[in-house]
Structure 1
Amino acid sequence: MGTASRNSLSFVCLWTQKPRDDRESFVAAHKRFFEEALKGRATVSIERVQQKLPRHSCEDPLWQLHCRLSLHSSLNPNQLESLSTDIARQWCAGGVRTLHGSSGPLKWLQPDRRHGFWHGWLAMEANVKMRCVSFGTLPGDLTFFAERHTIESKFGGDGYTVDCTFKHDERVLQVFLECGRCSAAEGLYQLSMHYSNIFRVVVCDPVGGPTDIFLHVHTLPLFHKATGNVHPSVRGNRQATMDQMNFQRTLTIGCPCSSVLESRDIGGCFVMKLGFSDSHDARRTVGRLSRKCRRAWFQFAQVTTDRVGTKVDTLKEQLCSRLMPKLKFPCCYALNALLQRSDDIAVQLMLLSSEEFNSVLRNLELFAARNEGALEEALFGVGTALENHSIVTFATALPALFAQSCKTHVPCQVPRGSCLIRRLFVTPSRIFYLPPAVHSENRVLRKFDAGYALRVSFRDDHFEFLSYSLGCHPQKQEMMDKVVGSFLREGVKIGDRHFKLLASSVSQLRDHGVWLYADDPQGNTVESIREWMGDFSTLPNMAKKIARMGQCFSTTEESVTVPLHSETMEDAADIEGGTHPESGKPYVFSDGIGMISESLMEKVCSKLDLTEVPSAIQIRYAGYKGMLCMNNTLEGDKLILRKSMNKFACSTSDSLEVIKVSSPLFLGLQQNMVLQLCDAFVSNETALNILCTYTNASLPFFKMHLRGLALSREPFTRSLLLVVYKSMIAGLQEKGRIAIPPERGRNMLGVLDETGTLEYGQVFVQYTAIGVRHGDTDQNGGGDAPTSNAKVLTDLRWEQNHSFASRLTRFILGTQSEITTCTSRFLVQVLVTKCPCLHPGDVRKFEAVDVPALRHIRDCIVLPGQGAPATPQRDGRYACWISSLRWEFNCH
């Protein structure tokens, strides 16, 4: 490869300035710096000076200057890199620290990414020696590093030996800390993170001084500890020794003979400083990082390091003790969210003079007295700007943001059936506060004050599930207890409210979350709320008790009131039959399935503002849960609940709460289902055809073309297409989700055949045809015929001509109907499964038949109530009737 010579270099200079500062003096000082650094070897030209478009209204004004250096002689790439390095080092040495006495000197230098860095390549740099590794923050203008904790390297001593491994091919950074007094297996620790976690790299490489790299990260690096023994043959090779060691997640680094660092000690430190022992190693590493961290900013600056230690914690306590008693809870929560997000704001306040600090506190008190809602919005606005990595000066940004919020703030209006809920993320290192967000109501939130409820989720420091990080960790229980157990026992105190553990829904447990509640003015406590929810004392174990409590936290919409044990509500026995070969108990065909009359269903729909009456609904009612299928033979308002639907005793709620209604829903095969089909010897060619059928879905391209609409050119439609594309590709990559055409499969609710017509192995399926106009006439005729926009799945005429001409005809005409020119008929086989599909026995093969007495039921799978119960559970079902997906037999 040739090494073409160039005769120019480019830089971008950035700075912040106050309104009274003269921009031209900044520009002149920049130009003078480059002229003095180059000493006549190039002509300096300022191409443009502009203010960078702010990402947030409270962001400090950021100016950028594009400078081009026209060299008097051409240089090869190595010489260009050397010249760029020399300029950057002079910059870091303080060549522009004063600009005519201005209070806002230039801060950062960004060399050209292509020619300003060393571009040699190595797959991995191992055992790169470090002077130290530190944790802290770069507040405000990024030229001051507030160091909270540091681990210095003492080669050959009793302290730590610090070195780094940069796995550029894997884009992983590993920092190794080895205690000199401990054995290799007991005293070796690792801090690891992926390159994608880095969003800014600030390099301080002054002439004649040490080189430091400051990595600004999204999430904290994870702590690991080496375990196990190493084979004697590789102990002499340190890198091979580390590669053979097993590193397991830990929350503490260090042993009693040295300093100890815990995860929570660096909870607000989102800048990791790497102090290189060799400046040449640092420059090569920065060059390689610049190639692998394409989305990160690389900047040179003179950074001053100052040890702040526990001063930040002291200031936070002082701030809370003074302000919290004078603020209402919403502002207390918002202030906690800002202080806990990072140490940035606390360090900024610590750097202020005593007079300036007191002025900020007085402003907060004054703003709270004037408009609490505007202050809450302003505090969250500052937090959002910091989260977006904007440069914010808190002392000036808050008054400006508060003034803006006073003009625009209106109380949040939530939709019906929703409320505002605050949410926390608890990690080993910190508690992350989220702003109030719209949340669907449940039974508890409708009864009690949602402002005293708190939703909590537990995560690791990189926001993955703790169970993923710990895996088969030998001390998994102890670590879970330290992070999760201690929090659940102690709760969390915010302002004057002490939130304690209330309960959790089943879906919330899957998300590693719980509900907390604080004592409210009405005297409600977590104990009284649990007592109101129902009687759980008879449940055999804690897991069952939590699951039953979770029924009260299911997301529901409140519909009609049905008094308990009234004429409207009736308890009925389950439909049973056969005997289980192992337990000897009878099979329960009606497990979790009840009935509702057409009259009562219409009242439910009216309450929920539904335009069409569904055939089935999934409900919560007192201590009952399950499905209700509409039965047109029931007269008046009638609700029939079966014994299997009653899960616990409850007498405090008599509202019929609806979770889900039957409706036309698209189907997508999940990864587990795809694996089961592969095990059933479904050919790859068949799977490919299924993928292609969805891409051939009918769209009226010709009609849109006549009206001047081009999907690929219209900006709004193009943006929607890109979002859909990214979503579907992510679904394919992560979950193996394959979309099925709506005329070949649906996501439906499973109900029971109350007529006793269906025999074992038969189902009744009637689905709403998506895209069919309601004005279409009924071709079947008769009162028992399917509704005009519904199709019964049995003996359907299937399109066999899949030629390109037939597909092109449908695309041009834009029709949604099927071509039925072929007259061949065959028996329809339906595959029914549940989600998740984990075993071949979860996939069942049925024969679709037409039962006139069941034609009032649509968008549901009607399952038989006799024979062996070889059917999946009765809630959400996946039904697919693609003829090429042959399922030869049912597994048990």
Structure 2
Amino acid sequence: MTSTRYGINAYPSKYNDPAFQKELLNSYGQRSQPRPGRVPADAPDTANDYDRFAFWPDAIAMGSLQGKKFTQVFGAACIKGHDERRLGRSFISFDLKREILVIKATTKLDPRILPPALNPLSAELSFDDIAHQGIHITKKPLSDAIGNPDLLEVTVTVSCRRPPKFFTEFDPGDDGPQYLQGTQYSLYRRRATAMDFATSGLREREAGPIPAIPKGPCAYPTFWNTYRWVFRMDRKKYDRITACANKIRALAQADPEMDLMSLASERARWSIRVLTGEQFKQLYTPPDMSKLAFSTRTLLEGLIGHGVLKPANTSELIVTLREVSTSTAFHDRILEALFSQEIIKDIKALVPKLAAFLRRRPPCIQAHLVLIRTVLVTPTRVLVGPRQYEPSNSVTRRYSDKLDGIIRVQFTDEEDRLYVVDYLKDADHIDPAVGLMARIRRALQYGLIIGGQTFYPVASSASQQKEHSMWFIDTRVIDGLSLRNWMGTVHETVVAKHAARMGLPFSTSRIVNMKINIAGELPDIQRNGRTFTDGVGIAGKLVLHKAALALGERQGLNANPSVIQFRLGGAKGVLANWPQLVGDEEIRLRPSLIKFTSDLDDLNVIRIAKYQVAFLNRQFINIMCANGVPHDLIIEIFEDAVADIKGFRDRVKQGRLSKADQQLFELCNDFPCMQLIRAGFNTNPLLLDIAAILECRALQDLKWRARVKLSNGVYLIGISDETGILKEGEVFCQFQENDETPAKVVVNEVLICRAPALHPGDVRRVRAVDVPELRHLKNVIVFSTQGERDLPSMLGGGDLDGDDYTLIWDQRFVQTLKVYDPMEYTAPEPISVEEVSQKHLNENFVQYVLNDVLGQVDNCHLALSDYFTPFDPRCLHLSEVHSTAYVIRKYAPINVDFAKTGQAAMLDPSLRPQEWPDFMDKDDARITYESVGILGKIFRLVQSDPHFSPSDLERMGYPSDPRISRYPLHDSLLERLKPLKASYERDLQYDMRRYRVYEPEIPTGIAIRNKRRKRARDQNLNEPLREAYSILVNNVRDAAAKILRDFSFKTTLTPMQVIARHCYALTFEEKYVKQWEQQQQQGAWGGQKVDDDEEEMLRPKPLMSFAWCFWQELLQIVNQPNPEVRKALLASLPADDWEEEEEGDDEDESEEQEQEQEATDTQKAKRPAPRKVSRIAPQLNPSVKKTPIAPFLPPEDSDEDDEE
């Protein structure tokens, strides 16, 4: 091992492959012109940032970084000049507009022994993926330089959170260059995958099962997290690097998450370790884990893949685990806790501390949750996560005792969803055996090796397929044939339909606890080749009530819904309440609901019909205004909305809430904002942050989505009229907001529409009427079954199997809209095969990914209709393409052209805008214009991009509520609660990293627009965030209740109020917060000692939500009667009536007993139980002294008495 001061001489490295066991060249060529040869090296300030901040290195190195210690895996001198395409051979370029770092390195190594991904190295690293303060720039003079005393040696080091997007070049072959379809642009490169780093020549498609931890050179992207370049430059060129650094620092002023520049001195010294091939094997080759339990092995693989654990440290971690426990289950809980770490620095110190408070029985979980392993397959890595609590489905409930045999696999890019663009499709057509799609095919054909077991694909539900996700099983644990026989018999020969049927049992649902009687079948109402009752059945009142009960609706309006969305065996759709047609415990199905035959008779409910207010969006506004709705009306509505929202946080702080403000708080109905504000907590830092989150999200919705609420409208699920009373062009709608408001029937001309809406005829005018026979139906829209064509099909091709519709009775919209004829289109003929095999299903999944163009069509249509109008022939054609693509995606992703020619479906390049409107927030590299249309006008009503910055408790001076803080504290109880706080915040921070959210986004379930999730659907996080927070809170409360077993006391405060008082102190009161943080930073409760030079500060500390796990008790405390009255009531109580009891035997429970208990707990988990779940939970202090504690009364000199 060598360790030297960093410099040019460190770069003669040894590549860790037998072909590279010779010294690399270290001679530097002459400086070339900048990358494309268009801008000189001393480019003026007016140059494009991509060219202006391009720099040409003399050498490059890749490896890993910890603090100032760099371990070099690969290093080489760089070749300069241009290639045959006039592109720079070696450069780095900071593209500040697109916020990416472009990397190119052509090394002086023999290209014949280089793998494709390094011949040359070509990559793009998003600024989002650069570590916090991960860009380091150092310099030193080259005093021995002849003739140029100002020459500097400059080193740029970039540390990243995850691998960049790698590219590799095509071999032109005998046929010459390949071209993008429909263009004159040649396709010279493709995305690289892990196999492109191999020197074996083995191609991705034929490489066999994908292992969780790659071996040899394929592992480089997994373990490289740092890139370093050395430059020789004069002062003038160094000034350009300084200017670039200053621009990058400026990004953090607008967004703290973009704090990328290191604060270290430019003369900082670094320690460099250059690895030989043998040293690389020793450091990065995991030990043999075949003797480990499957659950333990998968966790170790996950820690290695996520970069938390170095492979060389795996053996030490296993030994340490065995030293603290003999229980495999306990080992797993420790390993799960380690996922919250950035990197494990000291195993011997960390693991025993974790074990000190993790030793406890695993808690029971709610009946609708199961523990599922998730695996992300990226182009270069396989990321195995710890088991996560997720809503169950029919399959996971059926195999609840064999969940080790089920994993959910998602195919993603390195940082986000995998977006398939045209050049990727062309690259797949040129050579389907390599690249991204080949990696997906490889996983589907050969499987994934997780925990030493091979998992193979089974099926994917509709929603999972949209996220490029699929379920895999270990056929040695769950027999595939038995699973398919249990699900039912699918005879469908259309491949896409067959895949959809197979995915039905995997859709998230909750089981209804009652015996269902299936009565006689109802016929579908069909006319002119159309089905007016497509997807609608009927059910009795008791069935609907039990379904609501399964979703947690126990009383009030939603406890007796009019409609549920369901799945029953091979049937799916909605069931409506028609008491005159069915018994209370019966359901009746139609042929359109039954997708395949199945013997499963459990009713699964997905959701119930609820009141939802209407919102406009960009598509609705675009169509409505094109059809005559005045621009001034839309602008007025948006101006009012902006005025109502702006200043929301300030009004909360001042305690001046309008009705609109209170409605805004209703967005986070899972967190008791209004109750806390009414109780006087309106200045609490977390409440203010929640208010800021809501204000930010509401303004972001206005600016970026044109999403504005319409009080004279509703958004409800649609069903058919079973009575036949409604005439053609009529609908019935009765809505009720809550239990306190009366039900209202809409009677008037109305507009009705459904998202997505692209065609001018997708917004219709109909008449809402009152029909007494339909008044038992609430919070639904009832459609007529009369006429030539069903109305839902005119609304963007909708149906009634669970679609929601927007109904507006604001006459300012209704009377001004000019109704355009609805779109007519013919669905393409789906592809059928004689018998569908797993091979067909696998390729169907791949083609779904390749042909998932709906989002691109939406964007192109929106841009063109803004520049022209929705009536432009190109826009009308795009609306047809969208409808066809929707049907293809739903029924036949393998389209006719692909089957005949091997060409994937393409969006015609002539339909792609050359310029994009500003409101679409396209990358700045694209040409944009200031839209003068209605969407551009309302976009600029919110002038700056709404931004959220979390509060810093320390800077705020640790504000606390004297109504709570005046109650005395006891050190013994505080010490018992500190591990609980550490456990809660460890889980919370894991969720914050997992979902890339701030702390207040988790309790509210409201995810704001974030550059790190720029292309993800924020609203999809609402349910996971709320579920995660509910789990955390209920586990904390459960653990607190166990702590109370060791205390007895007499006081006017209840035991849980006593806990709440102490948790409040640990969260908000300066003395106790600082004390707790100091202990944690010193390594208490399983924490690692903090090295300020290494710690990545992803968020302000301390966190502020722990106390609010006990919000009910805190409300009760501040609502206590006058203290003098309480003191009189307690005058006769001795001061030591509350004291700690001796520990019971539970704390000394042996690990063997713990293992035996797990089997019992697993059985209990199948029954409904209180939420008691967490990845980490505290161990109570086993050595507690018996100490008297004073009654909980405020001090006599409290100045708050009069206010109470």
Q: What TM-score, normalized to structure 2?
A: 0.52
The answer for the alignment partner of 1:339 in structure 2 is: 304
Q: Secondary structure of 1:644's match? A: helix
Match runs of 1:501-650 below 5 Å? 501-519=457-475, 524-536=478-490, 538-562=491-515, 568-577=518-527, 579=528, 585=529, 587-606=530-549, 608-610=551-553, 611=555, 612-633=559-580, 634-650=582-598
Q: Secondary structure of 1:877's match? A: strand
On the 8 A contact 1:378/1:405 being kept in 2, the answer is: no
**Are the structure 2 counterparts of residues 675 and 227 from structure 1 closer, same or farther at C-alpha, using a change threshold of 3 Å?**
farther
The answer for the alignment partner of 1:664 in structure 2 is: 611
Q: How far 1:404 sits from its partner (Å)?
A: 3.3
Q: Secondary structure of 1:885's match? A: helix
Partner AA of 2:441 in structure 1: G
Q: Judge which range, 423-432 or 194-203, deviates more.
A: 194-203
Q: Which of these residues, 64, 68, 80, is aligned with residue 143 of structure 1?
A: 68
Partner AA of 1:673 in structure 2: F
Q: How far 1:443 sits from its partner (Å)?
A: 0.9
Q: Aligned equivalents of 1:632 and 1:275: distance in 2?
A: 78
Q: Aligned equivalents of 1:766 and 1:708: distance in 2?
A: 32
Q: Aligned equivalents of 1:501 and 1:258: distance in 2?
A: 27
Q: Secondary structure of 1:205's match? A: strand
Q: Which of these residues, 110, 118, 126, is aligned with residue 194 of structure 1?
A: 126
Aligned length: 679
- In the alignment, is residue 773 of structure 1 matched against residue 740 of structure 2? yes
The answer for the alignment partner of 1:113 in structure 2 is: none
On the 8 A contact 1:453/1:515 being kept in 2, the answer is: yes
The answer for the alignment partner of 1:403 in structure 2 is: 355
**Are the structure 2 counterparts of residues 258 and 760 from structure 1 closer, same or farther at C-alpha, using a change threshold of 3 Å?**
closer
- In the alignment, is residue 679 of structure 1 matched against residue 635 of structure 2? no
Once the two structures are superposed, residues 532-567 of structure 1 have per-residue CA deviations (whole angstroms, 9 ceiling, x without a partner) of: 11111x21222111111111111111114556xx6x
Q: How far 1:270 sits from its partner (Å)?
A: 1.4
**Are the structure 2 counterparts of residues 831 and 313 from structure 1 closer, same or farther at C-alpha, using a change threshold of 3 Å?**
farther
On the 8 A contact 1:414/1:420 being kept in 2, the answer is: no
- In the alignment, is residue 751 of structure 1 matched against residue 719 of structure 2? yes
**Are the structure 2 counterparts of residues 360 and 334 from structure 1 closer, same or farther at C-alpha, using a change threshold of 3 Å?**
closer
Once the two structures are superposed, residues 248-300 of structure 1 have per-residue CA deviations (whole angstroms, 9 ceiling, x without a partner) of: 54216799999999876322211111222337545742552243143024123
**Are the structure 2 counterparts of residues 615 and 359 from structure 1 closer, same or farther at C-alpha, using a change threshold of 3 Å?**
closer
The answer for the alignment partner of 1:871 in structure 2 is: 791
Match runs of 1:450-465 below 5 Å? 450-465=403-418
- In the alignment, is residue 270 of structure 1 matched against residue 237 of structure 2? no
Q: Aligned equivalents of 1:392 and 1:296: distance in 2?
A: 23
Partner AA of 1:251 in structure 2: A
Partner AA of 1:198 in structure 2: I
- In the alignment, is residue 364 of structure 1 matched against residue 364 of structure 2? no
Partner AA of 1:411 in structure 2: P
On the 8 A contact 1:135/1:266 being kept in 2, the answer is: no
Once the two structures are superposed, residues 619-667 of structure 1 have per-residue CA deviations (whole angstroms, 9 ceiling, x without a partner) of: 101111111110021344321101111111111x101111111111233
On the 8 A contact 1:201/1:297 being kept in 2, the answer is: yes
Q: Secondary structure of 2:497's match? A: helix
Once the two structures are superposed, residues 197-219 of structure 1 have per-residue CA deviations (whole angstroms, 9 ceiling, x without a partner) of: 32212345345594322201123
- In the alignment, is residue 839 of structure 1 matched against residue 720 of structure 2? no
Identity %: 21
Once the two structures are superposed, residues 648-689 of structure 1 have per-residue CA deviations (whole angstroms, 9 ceiling, x without a partner) of: 1111x1011111111112333333333322332322211123
- In the alignment, is residue 167 of structure 1 matched against residue 101 of structure 2? no
Q: Aligned equivalents of 1:344 and 1:399: distance in 2?
A: 13
The answer for the alignment partner of 2:659 in structure 1 is: 698
On the 8 A contact 1:195/1:292 being kept in 2, the answer is: no
RMSD: 4.0
Q: Secondary structure of 1:137's match? A: strand
The answer for the alignment partner of 2:275 in structure 1 is: 307
Q: Aligned equivalents of 2:55 and 2:677: distance in 1?
A: 64
**Are the structure 2 counterparts of residues 444 and 707 from structure 1 closer, same or farther at C-alpha, using a change threshold of 3 Å?**
closer
Q: Secondary structure of 1:130's match? A: coil
On the 8 A contact 1:269/1:343 being kept in 2, the answer is: no
On the 8 A contact 1:382/1:397 being kept in 2, the answer is: no
On the 8 A contact 1:251/1:263 being kept in 2, the answer is: no
Q: Aligned equivalents of 1:157 and 1:266: distance in 2?
A: 26
Partner AA of 2:740 in structure 1: R
Once the two structures are superposed, residues 794-835 of structure 1 have per-residue CA deviations (whole angstroms, 9 ceiling, x without a partner) of: 1xxxxxxxxxxxxxxxxxxxxxxxxxxxxxxxxx23222233
Match runs of 1:224-243 below 5 Å? 224=167
- In the alignment, is residue 851 of structure 1 matched against residue 753 of structure 2? no
Q: How far 1:129 sits from its partner (Å)?
A: 1.9
Q: How far 1:708 sits from its partner (Å)?
A: 7.5
Q: Secondary structure of 1:570's match? A: coil
Partner AA of 1:276 in structure 2: F
On the 8 A contact 2:284/2:310 being kept in 1, the answer is: no
Q: Aligned equivalents of 2:551 and 2:98: distance in 1?
A: 53
Partner AA of 2:495 in structure 1: M
Q: Aligned equivalents of 1:264 and 1:470: distance in 2?
A: 26
The answer for the alignment partner of 1:427 in structure 2 is: 378
**Are the structure 2 counterparts of residues 310 and 470 from structure 1 closer, same or farther at C-alpha, using a change threshold of 3 Å?**
farther
Q: Which of these residues, 366, 369, 379, is aligned with residue 418 of structure 1?
A: 369
Q: How far 1:417 sits from its partner (Å)?
A: 0.8
Where structure 2 has 5 or more consecutive residues not aligned to the other structure, the ranges are 11-43, 112-117, 143-151, 173-184, 204-215, 253-258, 645-657, 664-673, 793-798, 823-1204
On the 8 A contact 2:309/2:344 being kept in 1, the answer is: no
Structure in which a larger fraction of residues adopt helix: 2
Q: Secondary structure of 2:697's match? A: helix
Say which one has the larger Rg.
1
Q: How far 1:311 sits from its partner (Å)?
A: 4.6
The answer for the alignment partner of 2:192 in structure 1 is: 251
The answer for the alignment partner of 1:441 in structure 2 is: 392
On the 8 A contact 2:412/2:418 being kept in 1, the answer is: yes
**Are the structure 2 counterparts of residues 214 and 377 from structure 1 closer, same or farther at C-alpha, using a change threshold of 3 Å?**
farther
On the 8 A contact 2:713/2:808 being kept in 1, the answer is: yes
Q: Aligned equivalents of 1:687 and 1:343: distance in 2?
A: 51
The answer for the alignment partner of 2:688 in structure 1 is: 718
**Are the structure 2 counterparts of residues 737 and 546 from structure 1 closer, same or farther at C-alpha, using a change threshold of 3 Å?**
farther
On the 8 A contact 2:295/2:451 being kept in 1, the answer is: no
Q: Aligned equivalents of 1:706 and 1:554: distance in 2?
A: 37
Partner AA of 1:654 in structure 2: D
Q: How far 1:711 sits from its partner (Å)?
A: 8.8
**Are the structure 2 counterparts of residues 203 and 562 from structure 1 closer, same or farther at C-alpha, using a change threshold of 3 Å?**
same
Q: Aligned equivalents of 2:270 and 2:676: distance in 1?
A: 62
Once the two structures are superposed, residues 36-76 of structure 1 have per-residue CA deviations (whole angstroms, 9 ceiling, x without a partner) of: xxxxxxxxxxxxxxxxxxxxxxxxxxxxxxxxxxxxxxxxx
- In the alignment, is residue 881 of structure 1 matched against residue 829 of structure 2? no
Q: Secondary structure of 1:731's match? A: helix
Q: Aligned equivalents of 2:504 and 2:457: distance in 1?
A: 16
Partner AA of 1:463 in structure 2: D
**Are the structure 2 counterparts of residues 572 and 701 from structure 1 closer, same or farther at C-alpha, using a change threshold of 3 Å?**
closer
Q: Which protein has greater RCO, CA pairs closer than 8 Å, 6+ apart?
A: 2
Q: Aligned equivalents of 2:812 and 2:377: distance in 1?
A: 49
**Are the structure 2 counterparts of residues 754 and 92 from structure 1 closer, same or farther at C-alpha, using a change threshold of 3 Å?**
same
**Are the structure 2 counterparts of residues 277 and 363 from structure 1 closer, same or farther at C-alpha, using a change threshold of 3 Å?**
same
Q: Aligned equivalents of 1:541 and 1:709: distance in 2?
A: 60
**Are the structure 2 counterparts of residues 737 and 661 from structure 1 closer, same or farther at C-alpha, using a change threshold of 3 Å?**
farther
